[in-house]
Structure 1
Amino acid sequence: MKAVQVVSDHHIKLFLNFPSLLFANDKNYIRPLDQDIETVFDPKKNKFFRSGECERFIFLNDKHEMVGKIAVFINKKYRQAQPTGGIGFFDCINDQTTANFIFDFAKKRLQEKGMEAMDGPINFGERDKFWGLLIEGFSEPLYAMNYNAPYYKELFENYGFKIYFNQLCFGRKVYDGVNENFLRMHERISKNPAISARRMKIKDLEKYAADFTEVYNKAWANHGEGKEISKAHTLKLFSTLKPVINEHISWFVYENEKPIAMWMNIPDLNQWFKYLDGKFGLWQKLKFLLVKKFKTNKKMVGLVFGIVPEWQRKGIDGYMIWEGTKHFRKTTDFEDYEMQWIGDFNPKMIRIAENLETEVTRKLATYRYIFDRNKAFERHKML
């Protein structure tokens, strides 16, 4: 078996196509957009190259057949108890010997660069994309979410990886009953004339970007590993999402004109992208517009939920949820709701999800492998 670094267009094509061949008979597999994968490996588009380095490889057996792939990277801002590198975009045939060869290769590359452990499968980027190994809930993945076969869990754990933290997704049916406590909260808060709930509107995107930034920074920036974001960053994100924003499903709450809470949701893009086979050229963009127009998307995804500290535990969550739910039940076709993953180290956010009367829909895992096998393993610290 040999490793081949991905440098040519031919190698890139093999890297991108391999999962589709591996999961050709898996009805739940949705191929990610090639451009989303390639952006990760483009130093001009991925800011993480400023503080790190990344390389990717494909693996061929003695018959020159492709049997696996992986990305190996270092992010100097990824500070852990020991210098820790990352592996991601791992795919492999169902063979432990092959997987061990790939993991050994990645380990050696990282050791040569001074690393003492590796986490994976993770992204050479933010945690909101391509992060974690699916270990429960093998249904269609959400947009930019990793998907793999069940046997991957054995490949990781048999090698010696241990779960650093679990990633939980929570979901519910849109028309399921709403918690009675939320209804009482809504009734009580509704009597306060200073409080109002408003849905996000595209024509006022800049205003809502500013309001989102204010709430997010107060609610999450000092929470665990959070960091402040700028209005410019939020506006760039909102502008990117503009073609798929549904004005009925993202909500803000105000005290007079001061933003105090937000609940950001978007349609699940994979319900449209699954018809494009990973491509997004001119023809696929036209096809996307047609699919978006004529194929009803019945799944929405929860991105962020936040309340400023001074209004937490005062009923604003129930007020906002019922205001939003009443509205999008009347104005949209959505039937299913699923939240982006929450780390099991974040009990505060898990309680919020559970209060929505959700159930765990899928579980992913971030694994860690410490090179010194005599060193004690510790899970992610609780927030």
Structure 2
Amino acid sequence: MAIEIRQVGNKRERKEFIKFAWQIYRNDPELNKYWVPPVIDDYMKTLDTGKFPLYEHADLAMFTAWRDGVMAGTIAAIENRRHNEFHGDKVGFWGFFESVNDQKVADALFDAAAAWLKKKGLNAMRGPVSPSMNDQCGMLTKGYDSPPVFLMLYNPPYYNELTRNYGHRVGQELLAWYIDQKIIDIERLRRISEHVMKKEGLSIRILNMKDFDGEIERIREIYNRAWESNWGFVPMTTKEFDCLAKSLKPLANPHYIYFVEDRNKRTVGFSLSLPDVNQALRHVNGNPFSPIGLLKYLWYSRKITMVRTITMGVLPEYRKKGVDSILNTHIADYGGKHGVFASEMSWVLKCNEAMSKLAKVIGGKPYKEYIIYEADI
């Protein structure tokens, strides 16, 4: 069977690139039980190199694989110049990988991405990263028996075999921690939180929606400082952060976004959690903005039972002082009062012992695992 690789060149082909995933998941009853179709409009914007702010310092190429004239797979190759400047390496990335269970198809896709990245002067590639470490990344290796939460990926188990057989090795392992807030000793957490606030002279407040832009800037500053030593981290530009904030603003519940302040009202830590809107998006087939899709989305949004804690950030000088206990107490407290008794903390580097310890303290269990693969090119 002949395999042809085509590079995506226009808006129509970009939409075909996105829609290919339906062929993989809708045709498999087991995968279709848990897969959440991506929001097509969101992916169209993310892959628009003329508008998405990432591409002010990155280049993107999208490829499709065709087997005997029928589309059989997709992949995107990304050169993130800001990443390489920050880390002093020559790494490229691949993402948006989807493929039929055919090693020749997968090999052709990886070859196309590798060749494009190599022409850019890069000597290694990592993935899936779709399209940056600040977006969706990691290939699922454990936890196929439940849907992904908002902005986390899901894939068939055989994707790992295709990737490893091509020659990829494990670059980094990621965890998603499930926290059953019904078993949290909330009284104990409250006592610890109150002790830390009194000892350190701290206070906590929720997001002020009337000062949304100012709040986002506070988050950005702490995020970039708190995460600068993390593997693969690249500081987000103001445009990137503003774009992300604009996309998430309609989903924000101020009572899940907290700021910890010192005596001088300086922000020293924050926690960003969002309702797991995937529980509603599962029912709209990638089109929440169509009339029927919007009605379904609004209906199922009323029944969301889980939140995802996407990120926490604490200034270096306030680490290991219990600031995280203050944040976790308020997330659990508010959720419990409003019928939301589950949360996912994701993603967390498997080698990050401090975060794993924190997750365990509040009753977390690592129920999903992901890998970012790496290969020389």
TM-score by length of 2: 0.86
Letter in 1 for 2:342: D
SS in 2 for 1:333: coil
* Residues 17-166 of structure 1 mapped to structure 2, 5 A cutoff: 17-24=19-26, 25=29, 26=31, 27-62=33-68, 64-79=69-84, 83-124=90-131, 126-138=132-144, 139-166=146-173
Cα distance, 1:264 vs structure 2: 1.5
Letter in 2 for 1:366: I
Map of 2:9 onto structure 1: 7
- Structure 2, unmatched stretches of 5+, are none
Distance 1:188 1:100, change over 3 A: same
- Give deviations 1:126-162, integer Å, cap 9, x for gaps: 3132312111111212223222100111111111100
Map of 2:255 onto structure 1: 248
- Give deviations 1:43-102, integer Å, cap 9, x for gaps: 22223333332221211112x122111112322233267532222111111122222222
Structure 1: how far apart are the matches of 2:358 and 2:79?
33
Letter in 1 for 2:282: K
Residues 296 and 333 in structure 1, CA contact (< 8 A), matched pair in contact too: no
Letter in 1 for 2:134: D
SS in 1 for 2:336: helix
RMSD: 2.8
Map of 2:365 onto structure 1: 359
Map of 2:273 onto structure 1: 265
> Which structure has the highest helix share of the two?
2
Structure 1: how far apart are the matches of 2:207 and 2:257?
6
Map of 1:209 onto structure 2: 216
Cα distance, 1:300 vs structure 2: 0.2
Residues 275 and 304 in structure 2, CA contact (< 8 A), matched pair in contact too: yes
Distance 1:9 1:357, change over 3 A: same
- Structure 1, unmatched stretches of 5+, are 372-383
Letter in 1 for 2:9: V
- Give deviations 1:152-204, integer Å, cap 9, x for gaps: 11111111100100111112112222388745422423545943222224234
Structure 2: how far apart are the matches of 1:153 and 1:303?
25
- Give deviations 1:94-119, integer Å, cap 9, x for gaps: 12222222222332333333332221
Structure 1: how far apart are the matches of 2:65 and 2:238?
43
TM-score by length of 1: 0.85
Residues 215 and 306 in structure 1, CA contact (< 8 A), matched pair in contact too: yes
Letter in 2 for 1:76: R
Moved more, 100-109 or 336-345: 100-109
